[in-house]
Amino acid sequence: SRHFAVFGTPIAHSLSPRIHAAFARQTGIALDYVAIEAGHDDFAMHLAAFADNGGHGANVTLPLKESAFALCSNTSERALRAGAVNTLLRDGDGWRGDNTDGAGLLRDLTQRNGLDLRGRRTLMLGAGGAARGIAPTLLDAGIDALYIVNRTAQNADALADLLGDPKRVHARYLDDLPALGEFDLIVNATSATRGGELPHLPMSMVGRRTAAVDLSYGEAAIPFLAWARANRCHDAIDGLGMLVEQAAGSFEVWHGVRPDTDLVYADLRAHTD
Ligand code: ATR
C-alpha cells in the first residue's frame, strides 16, 4: 500500500489520519497515513526521510504551509496563487505542491452551511499559511471586499500585495477595527486562539447577516466562536467541515477519486466536540 503522512506541529491530535483511513475504507483503496511532528527547523529533513522511505503524498499543516511551498519542484495554479501548500504529491525526484484549503472551505460554507458568499464585505484575521490558502478562493467566490488584519502588519501587507487585487483587498491594523464598520463575513485564520488568546474584536463589526468562521476546530475554535455567539453573529462555523473537505480534495489529488464527506463529517462531529 502507498504511504502518506501529515506534517506539522503540534500534530499528535491531528484528525487527518482518521479521515484518510475512513476515505480509504469507503473507496477500497489501500494506504497508510501517519502523523509526523515537524517544525520549521526539521521539516525538510523529515520530508526527505519520508521520500526515501517511499512516501507518495503528504499533507502539510501549520505552521509549515509556506515552507512546503518553497520546497516544491512544481506547484498547481491554486498553490502558486496562495504561496502556500497543504498537499504534496511525489513527482519524480521532487514534490508537486497543491492547495485544497480554499476549495475545501468554499465547499463547506456554500454546500454544507448554505452560505452565499457573493457581495460579502469580508474581514480576514491573520496572514499566515492558512490565510494565504483561502484568500484567493474567497475573492474568486465573489466577496465584495477583503480586509486583512494581522498582528504583524507587514505580513498583512505582503499578503495583500501577493493577491494582486488592490481594488478589493486592503491591509489594515488591528487598531483600525472599530473604525472599519460592519462585515458580512469574518474569518479567523490566525493560530492565536490555539494559545488561548483572541485579539480584541469590537462588536461594531457585526451586522445583520454576519457569518463568523474559524478555520480551526475543537478547543482552538472556542474563543472566537464564543465571541461570535455572544455578539449575535448570524452564523458561527468552525473549521471541522473545511478539514474534511480539504482532506477529500487531497485524496482526489492522490487517488483520482473524490470520497463522500458527509458520513465522515457526521462521525467526527459526533465524537470530537
Ligand atoms: P497558519 O498555517 O495557521 O496560518 P502561520 O503561518 O504560523 O500558521 O500563521 C499564524 C497566523 O496567526 C499569523 O497571521 C500570526 O500573526 P503574525 O503574522 O503576527 O505572526 C497569527 N498569530 C499567531 N499567534 C497570534 C497571537 N497570539 N495573536 C495574534 N495573532 C497571532
Here the CATH number for the domain that contains residue 188 is: 3.40.50.720
- Catalytic entry in 65, 107, 121, 132: 65
Q: What percent of the chain has pLDDT over 90?
A: 94
Q: What is the pLDDT of residue 196?
A: 66
**Together in a domain, 109 and 87:** no
**Together in a domain, 202 and 88:** no
Q: What is the pLDDT of residue 197?
A: 78
DSSP annotation of 164: T
If you take atom 9 of ligand 1, which residue's CA is the nearest one? 128
Q: What is the pLDDT of residue 195?
A: 66
**Together in a domain, 51 and 125:** no
**Together in a domain, 227 and 192:** yes
**Together in a domain, 39 and 157:** no
Domain of residue 9 covers 2-99+243-272
- Sign of the CA dihedral 203, 112, 131, 31? positive
Mean pLDDT of the chain: 96
Beta-bridge mates of residue 32:
3
Q: Are strands 206-214 and 183-188 parallel, antiparallel or unpaired?
A: parallel
Q: What is the pLDDT of residue 204?
A: 98
**Together in a domain, 35 and 115:** no
Q: How confident is the model at residue 61 (pLDDT cuts 50, 70, 90)?
A: very high
Statement: residue 218 has pLDDT above 70: yes
If one counts the domains in the chain, the total is 2
- The CA 130 to ligand 1 mean position distance, Å, reads 9
pLDDT tens per residue across span 131-151:
999 999 999 999 999 999 999
Statement: residue 108 has pLDDT above 70: yes
The label of the residue with cell 465547499 reads 107
pLDDT tens per residue across span 163-201:
999 999 999 999 999 999 999 999 999 986 666 678 899
pLDDT tens per residue across span 201-214:
999 999 999 999 99
**Together in a domain, 195 and 116:** yes
**Together in a domain, 142 and 215:** yes
Lowest-pLDDT range, 59-73, 180-194, 238-252?
A: 180-194
Task: Examine residue 10 and say whether the peptide bond preceding it is cis (omega within 30 degrees of 0).
Answer: yes
**Together in a domain, 115 and 64:** no
CATH number, domain containing residue 16: 3.40.50.10860
- The CA 129 to ligand 1 mean position distance, Å, reads 9
**Together in a domain, 106 and 233:** yes
**Together in a domain, 118 and 206:** yes
Kindly provide the ipTM of the predicted complex, given to two decimals.
Answer: 0.94
Ligand 1 contact, 126 CB (< 6 A): yes
Average pLDDT estimate for 42-68 = 97
Statement: residue 238 has pLDDT above 80: yes
**Together in a domain, 82 and 148:** no
167 catalytically annotated: no
Residue 129, SS3?
Answer: helix
Average pLDDT estimate for 227-238 = 98
